[in-house]
Amino acid sequence: MEELSFVGKSVPRKDGAEKATGKALFTVDMVLPGMLWGKILRSPYPHAKILRIDTSRAERLPGVKAVIAGKDTLGIKHGFVETPRYAPDQYPLAMDRVRYIGEEVAAVAAIDEYVAEEALSLIQVDYEELPAVFDPEEAMKPEAPEIHPSHPKVKEPYKNIGGKTESGWGDVEKGFAESFLVREDRFDGQLRTHCYMEPQATLASFDFSRKLNVWTSSQGPFIKRAKLATTLGLPFSKVRVLKAYVGGAYGGKIDLFSHEFCASLLSIKAQRPVKIVCTREEVFEAARHGQPIFVELKTGVKKDGTLVAQQVKVINNSGGYRGSGVVVIFLCWGFVMLCYRIPNLKYEGYSVYTNNPVRAPQRGHGAPNLRFAVESQMDMIAEELGIDPVEIRLKNARQKGDILPNQDPVRNCGLVECIEKVAETTQFKAKYGRNRSLPRAKIRKGIGMGVSSYFSGSLIYPNASAAIVKLNDDGTVSLITGALDIGQGAETILSQIVAEELGVSMEDIRVVAADTENTPVDIGSWISGGAYVSGNAVKLAASDARRQLFEVAAQELEANPEDLVVKNREISVKDSPGRSISFTQAVAASIAKRRGNPIIGQGHYRTMKDVPAHPSLATTKGRWSDNYAFDAQVAEVEVYTETGQVKLVKATTAHDCGFPINPLIVEGQIDGQVSMAQGHALWEEVLMKEGETLTNSFIDYKIPCAKDMVESHYVDIITEKYEKDIPYRTKEVGEGYVSGMVAAIANAVYDATGVRVKTLPILPEKILMGLRKKGDS
Amino acid sequence: MKKQLIMLRVNGESCELAVEPQRTLLEALREDLGLTGAKEACGTGECGACTVLIDGKPILSCLTLAIEAQGKEITTIEGLAQGSELHPLQKAFIQHGAIQCGYCASGMILNAKSILDETPKPTRDEILKGLEGNLCRCTGYNKILEAIMAASMGKD
């Protein structure tokens, strides 16, 4: 096989120097002449009717240039999901009712932040408070206050159902009856939040051609453009979303946010640029958090641990609007069925409205919680059967060649190898259970495993990616892509692909990215398809450019295109030293002799080329993804039995991401997810009381800091390969496939202490209580 | 409030500016001097993104008033490279994958510089303890530690 020079190498980030020198401009850094500052007035009530909004005093305050409330909008709703079944349900500015504390009610633009802040205090809003409900299971009861009518297609007499997913196959009742052991457990996830370091921020500028230009801290410009244009009643072509560096997102910056809409409308109204930067408090209190989900899990197995039947019920607390609630209940089905072969399954997921802030995807979008449930129970079953955790997983693991219940083929799957290798590397079997025979120790060590899988791109608007690879007169290359680098390294890996295909160095490539007007469409950095879908689009564009270069070169060198090789911006005839032409010469020749063709390569790609749409969110029917990534992870912990504290000492990840385009970036993605899993499993929780956020700072909501750093090890399982001119099938690496770590930590804690915690986070008091209950403290 | 005329020395240059007494150093740097490398992520001294060096020591510029910084030598991330030659820490951060989204990078690198200035050959724990006040949500700190260790050993 041809040796690769760039793909598969740990090439440093392309934007490294810009970021390391402070020159990279994030949305918060953007300034335009005449720029105004916007501020948002938010609801102080979890549930209330808006009777009257009087903005007149604010409008009269000197320095105020525009004030908007619901009546100034077109009253067009939006939603994370917009389908016939799930119609948009949220106004970008509240009209007649508010459904959570922090919901946006009005906004002002003024000459500075202080005047804007003062203007907010002059807006008079009369509310009539309504009864509110915060817990999803309370909200489902018939006597609960109605936040939105239950979805018409949900048959049960539950209230406040935003959506339902129902799926299954086989006969679970028969399966349970035939099982040797049946376990029923419930696992509760907590409310977590992203904690991207750059707060939500938007700069909008409505120009004289009546076009709206928007810089916003996001995860992809094309979905933002679509939602802004729709809610503002503008043609797509009159909204331009441009690139700015993004200071982290992790799922929390996908959907349309009110501040983006408000900055835009204020700019239209004031005819001046308007910038809104949310404070950290606003981010904690009113921006979207992750999805807290409850999982009821009933599993039947044979005596040897083979899965026979599984019944799963997932309840999600979606907050005052759907947000991504109806997506997470679909996805949880997927995260159940991907890793193990389950002959009989019954799945139901409910997304429930409550009077809490709306929820968004958060890295893994349900996978960490769902896998926490399944993998915890897997260990409980293994223990009851006297099988070790490795064997029970191997017995049930998904394998290459399987057809998933939705008919997706599992073309390549390294799960078995992941489990075997991670167990071997960590000496899992030797370490597992070692504490149980030891006398009571103050520090107990434990080891635990979790496995996970994730899809790699699916069909959600904008569905596809395209790219342009343009040769320049000096022989360098411009890559024009709609992909947005949010820190995951999109621009770097896409440049590596161009470098590989064209035989140019990383420095020879200039990237123009993420501009809805000047770059082609891109699926966005939120559907786990960047490396696969955008990567293949770029690969095709680069090989198109190379084909054109070779045609010219063949003519100039009087050779066959098949005999040409390319390296260092030079095309030469194989085995004929001296017969070569530089890119600069080739471009000049192409312009001179091919009617001015400057050599522009184009490519486009879409996952599942013949499939019309995303699978049904209601029934899960239909193809979901082309590629699935798999992993097995092991956590090694120390538990301090006097304090109940857990230290995650070492994390080992065996992962099948197809092949790593850039191993350094893959490692970085794994480290980041291990760190998030540590916080998720052990301490992070957004505490709320009657709709009010109590943890609204980094002091109250602690994320892992440097001293919490976990030793992270990686085992690469390579199941795919990269070859020139052939689309490749690498898999996602950014979110869900290392979602086994939360479960691995929980299982390691159990191994160390014998305490099984089923409600996250695994706080010290839960361990102490567990130890006391066992008479073991 | 009435503005005061102050003189700040930033990255070796003197700059005169009129600020209100409550203006933070971070605001003065970012908004008055256009040095946007220092970032605000919390505004309340919890995250370290706004770290700059005053007389070589790391401080949180969101909790420091601009008027307090008069007469002192302020170094921001923009002042670390010598022309186009990056500081060894900047090189090491790039080389080792210590930067992802990059929002925390300027504070992180400046704090790392102060750690190495004080302890040229720090241990792993000394580095991690020194970085405790600088939050990063992307990297899990592993590659940051590697980068600083490498820089302390004179490697990129």
Instruction: Give pLDDT tens digits for A600-628.
Output: 999 999 999 889 999 999 999 999 999 99
Residues B92 and B73 in one domain: no
User: Hey, is the C-beta of A704 within 8 angstroms of any chain B C-beta?
Assistant: yes
Dihedral Cα A121, A127, A131, A133, nearest 10 deg: -40
Are residues B73 and B93 located together in one domain of the fold?
A: no
Residue A439: per-residue pLDDT: 64
Find which of B103, B113, B155 to mutate to test the A interface (most A CBs within 10 Å of its CB).
Answer: B103
Residues B70 and B95 in one domain: no
Query: Which residues 9-48 of A have a C-beta within 8 angstroms of B?
Result: 10, 12-13, 15-26, 28-29
Same domain, B39 and B9: yes
Distance of CA B43 to the CA centre of its chain: 15
Phi, psi of A238 (to 5 degrees): -95, 5
Distance, in Å, from the CA atom of B52 to the CA atom of B36, rounded to the nearest integer, reads 12
CB contact under 8 A, A703 and B134: no
Which residue segment(s) compose the domain that B36 sits in?
Answer: 4-79
Residue spans of alpha helices (H) in A642-740: 663-682
Find, in chain A, the residue whose alpha carbon is nearest to that of B29.
A29
CB contact under 8 A, A17 and B90: yes
Are B19 and B65 members of one domain? yes
Does A664 reach chain B within 8 Å, measured CB to CB? yes
Shared domain for B45 and B14, answered yes or no, is yes
Give chain B positions within 8 Å (CB) of A665: 97
SS3 A21: coil
How are beta strands B4-10 and B73-75 bridged, if at all? Answer: parallel
Nearest chain A residue to B81 by CA distance is A21
Q: How confident is the model at residue A379 (pLDDT cuts 50, 70, 90)?
A: very high
Give the C-alpha distances (Å, rounded to integers) separating A387 from A181, A231, A382, A701: 13, 56, 5, 39
- Nearest CB to B141; choose among A19, A487, A709: A709
- Kindly state whether B151 is in contact with chain A, defined as any CB-CB distance less than 8 angstroms: no
Give A711's contacts in chain B (Cβ within 8 Å): 142
Tokens found for residue B72: 């002192």
Contacts of A130 (CB under 8 A, 6+ apart): A47, A48, A49, A97, A145
Whether residue B120 has a cis bond before it, omega within 30° of 0: no
Tell me what the mean pLDDT of segment A654-677 comes to: 97
Chain B nearest-CA residue for A650: B142
Mention every residue, 6+ apart, whose C-beta is less than 8 A from residue A61: A110, A115, A118, A119, A122
**Statement to judge: residues B75 and B8 lie in one domain:** yes
**Rounded Cα distance, A34 and A514, in Å:** 25
| Cβ atoms of residues A516 and A482 within 8 Å | yes
ipTM greater than cut 0.90? yes
Residue at a domain's end among B79, B110, B139 = B79
Q: Determine the Cα–Cα distance for residues A357 and A372; give it in Å rounded to an integer.
A: 24
Asked whether residue B141 carries a pLDDT value surpassing 70, the answer given is: yes
Q: Which residues of B touch A706 (CB under 8 A)?
A: 127-132, 134, 136, 141, 144-145
Q: Please judge whether B39 and A197 are an interchain contact, meaning their C-beta atoms are less than 8 angstroms apart.
A: yes
Identify the CA nearest to A520 among candidates A612, A600, A459, A611.
A600
The partner residue sitting opposite B141, judged by closest CB among A21, A698, A706, is: A706
| Residue B61 and residue B116 in one domain | no
Nearest CA in chain B to A12: B95
CB contact, 8 Å: B22 with chain A? Answer: no
Judgement on whether residues B109 and B62 belong to the same structural domain of the protein: no
Q: Which of B44, B100, B110 to mutate to test the interface with A (most CBs of A within 10 A)?
A: B100
Please indicate if any CB of chain A lies within 8 Å of the CB of B108.
no
Q: What is the pLDDT of residues A338-356, one digit of tens each?
A: 999 999 999 999 999 999 9
Residue A153 parent element (H or E): none
- The Cα–Cα gap between A245 and A65 comes to 28
Structure tokens that stand for A463 in this block: 């569905």
Task: Name the one residue in this structure whose structure tokens are 């983006």.
Answer: A260
Q: Which of B78, B133, B137 sits opposite A195 (nearest CB)?
A: B137
Q: Which CATH number fits the domain that encloses residue B27?
A: 3.10.20.30
Render pLDDT for A168-181 as a digit per residue (tens, 0 to 9).
999 999 999 999 99
Which A residues, 215 through 254, put their C-beta within 8 Å of a C-beta on chain B?
245-250
Residue A737 confidence (pLDDT) above 80: no
Of B36, B86, B137, Cβ closest to residue A25: B36
What string of DSSP letters covers B83-96? TTB--HHHHHHHHT
State whether B10 and B75 are in the same domain: yes
pTM: 0.98
Q: How many beta-carbon pairs under 8 angstroms link A with B?
A: 177
* Smallest CA–CA distance from A19 into chain B, residue: B102
**B17 near A CB under 8 A:** no
Q: Is A746 helix (H, G, I), strand (E, B) or coil?
A: helix
How far is A201 from chain B, CA to nearest CA, in Å? 11
Is 60 exceeded by the pLDDT of residue A1? no
Token duo for residue A413: 């799957």
Q: Domain end: B52, B79, B106, which one?
A: B79
Count the domains in chain B.
2
Contact call for residues A205 and A276 (beta carbons, < 8 A):
no
The helix/strand count (H/E) of chain A reads as 19, 28
Quick check: A777 pLDDT over 70? Answer: no
Phi, psi of A495, deg, nearest 5: -70, -35
Average pLDDT over residues A328-342: 98
Q: Chain B residue closest to A193 (CA)?
A: B137
Q: Is the peptide bond before A761 cis (omega within 30 degrees of 0)?
A: yes
| A380 contact partners, CB below 8 Å, separation of at least 6 | A183, A185, A756
Query: What is the CA A429 to chain-centroid distance, rounded?
Result: 33
**Residue A298 pairs with which residues in a beta bridge?**
A184, A311
Domains within chain A, CATH numbers bracketed: 31-130+196-249+253-286 (3.90.1170.50), 293-458+614-773 (3.30.365.10), 460-606 (3.30.365.10)
Calculate mean pLDDT across residues A389-413: 96
3-state secondary structure of A32: coil
Among the candidates B56, B79, B102, a domain finishes at B79
Domain co-membership, B75 together with B93: no
Which residues 488-507 of chain A have a CB within 8 Å of chain B?
Answer: 488-489
A243-269, pLDDT tens digit by residue? 999 999 999 999 999 999 999 999 999
Using one digit for the tens of pLDDT, what is the confidence trace for A507-562? 999 999 999 999 999 999 999 999 999 999 999 999 999 999 999 999 999 999 99
Residues B11 and B72 in one domain: yes
Q: What is the dihedral of CA A76, A78, A81, A82, to 10 degrees?
A: 10
